Amino acid sequence: MQKVLVANRGEIALRVIRTCRDLGIRTRILAVATRAKCDAVHPGYGFLSENAAFAQAVVDADLVFVGPPAAVQRALGEKTTARRIAREAGVPVAEGTEPLADLADARVAARRIGYPVLLKPAGGGGGKGMRLVAREEDLAPAWRMSTGEATAAFGAPALYLERAIERPRHVEMQILADQRGSVVWLGERDCSIQRRHQKLIEETPGPAVDATLRQRLGEAAVRVARAAAYRSAGTVEFLVDASAGFVFLEVNTRLQVEHPVTEMVTGLDLVALQLRIADGEALPFAQADVAPRGAAIECRITAEDARAGFVPTGGVVALVREPAGPGVRVDR
């Protein structure tokens, strides 16, 4: 692999470019990959990174897509299919439904499952369009709002229901899988501190994760990855209750914003590993070789109006002062 098109912008584009330069790979941004005679396309995160049609188009153009195959993205991107894959792999899932036909169907299912329930888009995750419904009288307005948000975010209004877990911790496991069947987990990231289902703080080790739970979560993540024929970097997410029980949530079939948290404690370059896997190389280490050291935390800085309920807001950035010191990493 000699040249990679980076199909993204901003911090993640710079992050991928930095690793490509370290590996001696030339990059192109906002150019047609075939015209630039690239070998591969790296989608970064967001935008095209979980777009199965784009992944397939890259392959159809005789280029390498740096990420999981389109078929894997489609299967794991449809959340009820992902739940089915996890369940068949022996991984616990919360009681839930298939995509619902209409509001009446949702009412019947919610009564069967028992309130509170989560109303969630079937076509995608990331907290978009998700609603916690505590009472039956709240279901109709939640259905209307979630349908609209699901259509806007994922191009499909389909929703499903899932039993809500009281005060869970949101814990995700970073995985890597090569094209030869090897899959490893690199540890957890606790991302329980969120606003409107969007992550604000990610940290490792998780404050409620001991060695036994970490092993159980890692093994469950690997089972899901193997069942889905996963390849590349990805994240398997779980909800963990107060008694250390857990259920499968979803799989993010891409590099995530918070991947530096894992890199800081493992010493691994996840982008470099993505590129090597895409180029057909085997993982250069086994599960027993993964030995995280220390702790890392990432905090997202958001542009919001705190006096108006933390709604997103725009404006001029008058001053930026970057943190510095031992153990501090700034990606730019």
Task: Dump pLDDT digits (tens) for 37-90.
Answer: 888 989 888 767 888 988 998 898 888 999 999 999 999 999 999 999 999 999
272 and 173 fall within a common domain: yes
What pLDDT does 33 receive?
A: 67
**Among 287, 189, 236, 214, CA closest to 89:** 236
Q: How many domains are there within the chain?
A: 3
Q: How confident is the model at residue 32 (pLDDT cuts 50, 70, 90)?
A: low
Of the residues 14, 46, 66, the one at which a domain ends = 66
Which pLDDT does position 284 carry in this prediction? 97
Which residue from 125, 239, 116, 226 is spatially nearest to 180, judged by alpha carbons? 226
Whether 326 is covered by a domain: the verdict is: no
Residue-level pLDDT at 30? 36
CATH assignment at residue 136: 3.30.1490.20
DSSP string, 15-50: HHHHHHHHTT-EEEESS-TTTTT-SEEE--SSTTTT
Residue 165's contacts (CB-CB under 8 Å, 6 or more residues apart) are 94, 239, 241, 247
User: Does the residue 22 lie in any domain?
Assistant: yes
Expressed as residue numbers, the domain containing 272 is 169-305
184 and 294 in a single domain? The answer is yes
Cis peptide before 116 (omega within 30 of 0): yes
Segment of 14-28, 196-210, 314-328 carrying the highest mean pLDDT? 196-210
Shared domain for 196 and 291, answered yes or no, is yes
Active site residue 300: no
Residues 286 and 193 occupy one common structural domain: yes
Q: How many helices (H) and strands (E) does the chain have?
A: 9, 15
Out of 35, 254, 300, 307, pick the active-site residue. Answer: 254
Give the model confidence (pLDDT) of 296-326 as tens digits.
999 988 888 988 988 888 888 899 898 889 8
Q: What is the pLDDT of residue 8?
A: 79
Do 121 and 208 reside in the same domain of the chain? no
pLDDT tens-digit series, residues 216-250: 999 999 999 999 999 999 999 999 999 999 999 99
Nearest Cα neighbor of 27 from 256, 11, 39 is 39
For residue 27, the model assigns a pLDDT of 60
Predicted local distance difference test score (pLDDT) of residue 28: 59
Residue 80 is classified by DSSP as H
Environment class of residue 321 by beta-carbon count within 10 Å: exposed (0-12), middle (13-18) or buried (19+)? exposed
Q: Is the pLDDT of residue 31 over 70?
A: no
Q: Which of 101-105, 122-126, 197-201, 305-309 has the highest mean pLDDT?
A: 101-105
Residue 29, domain member (yes or no): yes
Contact status, residue 63 vs residue 38, Cβ threshold 8 Å:
yes
In terms of residues, how long is the chain? Answer: 332
Residue 46 lies inside a defined structural domain of this protein: yes
Entry pTM: 0.87
**Side-by-side strand order, sheet with 26-29:** 26-29, 3-6, 40-42, 64-65
Quick one: 273 and 301 in the same domain? yes
What confidence tens digit (pLDDT) does each residue in 151-175 have? 988 888 999 999 999 889 999 999 9
